[in-house]
């Protein structure tokens, strides 16, 4: 993160207090890979009972740490003992040298923790195409104190993974699985190059529940679809997007073992997991590069939820819609345009639009007696709500979704024009 970046208008006054998660220890170290005078390397240790699931970028140019994580998920059967995340260098598009850097870092962490190589996961964020020297990371690993009984430094860890972020992102929730009280903590980074599929940028979710990897994966997929896959800043998918869900196993679940996602005992946990991931995902949008407003887009009446999502993203990614939001221009015709370009089945003559709860268009035309004044007042605010019903299948379709997006300001151009300086 550059110290001269203007802080997001949505930045909280302080990082939220996150409770301890038994069976793990997370902290921050300083390597100087790119930044000086600040932590830039998240390190975490997990108990031998810990299990992990992950989702990753859909980019055809994945980084070396993404390749390593995918390999270790399969080879290690969901076991995890260590995590390392560096900021400032993405270790992406770096060829064999990038793979060697990732492997050397992972082996150093495995040796330090007495773990198997397949139990180590890495992530990197920063500039693409620059060779990463692993020596500072290895030195930080060797000099750090790992202690599962130590108090985790959640604010430090969240700050360590920031690049152009202007505030650290974290959230926590609690839930019950059966009679057991469960904690879930999440931290994330992201500000630009934010678009779904998989998109999370970098996000790490930790729980003390004892859940097997075979359950963690569908749980993570479900929550990701409703959180990180429902946000966009600029429509660009990163090479490094990684989201890991780690269950430390510290809180055993009463018998019989949970084997299915629809087990009633998981209901509270599933909701809490989605809630905490939505929380940090929305924080990412609220810290979008140059952001001044948060756009919430509700789409209904699509053929299915996937179609609704694609329509919502067509609206949220439209430069014309985003700049109208930034300029507080109630130019709802741009929403019509975005729906039309989505490529999904929509009914022009049934399309309805609301902005800020005010009816703008209904059944394919502007509402009679439309008064723009209350819509214009809503557009002056920081949180803009758009609702569209696309009327597919003669108005009988039930597909729906919610998307969160940022506006587009001169600040985005300024940040990305000077990103490497």
Say how many residues make up the chain.
421
- Is residue 200 within 8 Å of residue 238, measured between CB atoms? no
- Kind of pairing between the strands at 24-29 and 41-46: antiparallel
Integer angstrom CA distances of residue 15 from 26, 155, 182, 195, 223:
16, 6, 21, 25, 23
What ranges in 61-193 are assigned the alpha helix state H? 64-75, 95-113, 135-143, 154-160
> Which residues, other chains included, contact 13 with Cβ-Cβ below 8 Å and sequence gap of 6+?
none
Measured distance CA(194)–CA(204) in Å, rounded: 16
CA dist 288 and 412 (Å) reads: 8
Active site residue 200: yes
DSSP letter for 33, please.
S
The one catalytic residue among 31, 118, 200, 232: 200
The answer to whether 185 and 168 are in contact (CB under 8 A) is no
Q: Helix, strand, or coil here: 379?
A: helix
Active site residues: 200
């Amino acid at each position: 993160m550059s110290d001269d970046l203007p802080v997001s208008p949505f930045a909280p006054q302080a990082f939220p207090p996150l409770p301890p998660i038994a069976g793990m220890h997370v902290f921050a170290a300083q390597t100087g890979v790119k930044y000086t005078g600040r932590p830039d390397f998240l390190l975490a240790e997990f108990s031998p009972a810990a299990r992990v699931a992950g989702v990753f970028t859909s980019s055809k140019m994945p980084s070396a740490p993404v390749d390593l994580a995918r390999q270790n998920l399969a080879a290690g059967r969901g076991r995890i003992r260590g995590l390392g995340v560096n900021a400032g260098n993405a270790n992406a598009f770096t060829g064999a040298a990038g793979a060697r850097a990732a492997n050397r870092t992972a082996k150093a962490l495995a040796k330090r923790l007495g773990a198997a190589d397949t139990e180590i996961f890495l992530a990197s964020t920063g500039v693409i195409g620059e060779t990463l020297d692993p020596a500072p990371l290895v030195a930080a690993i060797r000099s750090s104190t790992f202690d599962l009984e130590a108090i985790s430094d959640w604010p430090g860890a969240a700050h360590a993974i920031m690049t152009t972020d202007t505030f650290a992102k974290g959230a926590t929730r609690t839930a019950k699985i059966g009679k057991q009280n469960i904690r879930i903590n999440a931290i994330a980074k992201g500000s630009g190059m934010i678009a779904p599929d998989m998109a999370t940028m970098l996000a790490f979710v930790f729980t003390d529940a004892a859940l097997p990897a075979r359950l963690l994966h569908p749980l993570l997929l479900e929550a990701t679809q409703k959180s990180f896959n429902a946000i966009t800043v600029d429509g660009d998918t990163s090479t490094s997007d990684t989201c890991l869900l780690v269950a430390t196993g510290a809180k055993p679940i009463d018998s019989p073992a949970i084997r299915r996602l629809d087990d009633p005992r998981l209901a509270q946990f599933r909701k809490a997991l989605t809630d905490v991931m939505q929380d940090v995902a929305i924080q990412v949008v609220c810290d979008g590069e140059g952001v001044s407003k948060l756009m919430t887009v509700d789409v209904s009446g699509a053929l299915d939820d996937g179609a609704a999502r694609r329509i919502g993203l067509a609206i949220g990614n439209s430069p014309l819609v985003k700049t109208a939001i930034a300029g507080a221009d109630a130019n709802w015709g741009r929403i019509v345009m975005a729906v039309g370009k989505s490529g999904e089945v929509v009914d022009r003559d049934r399309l309805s639009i609301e902005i800020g709860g005010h009816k703008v268009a209904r059944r394919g035309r502007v509402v009679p007696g439309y008064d723009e004044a209350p819509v214009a007042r809503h557009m002056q605010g920081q949180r803009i709500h758009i609702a569209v019903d696309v009327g597919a299948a003669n108005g009988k379709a039930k597909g729906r979704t919610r998307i969160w997006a940022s506006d587009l300001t001169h600040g985005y151009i300024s940040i990305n024009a000077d990103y490497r300086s």
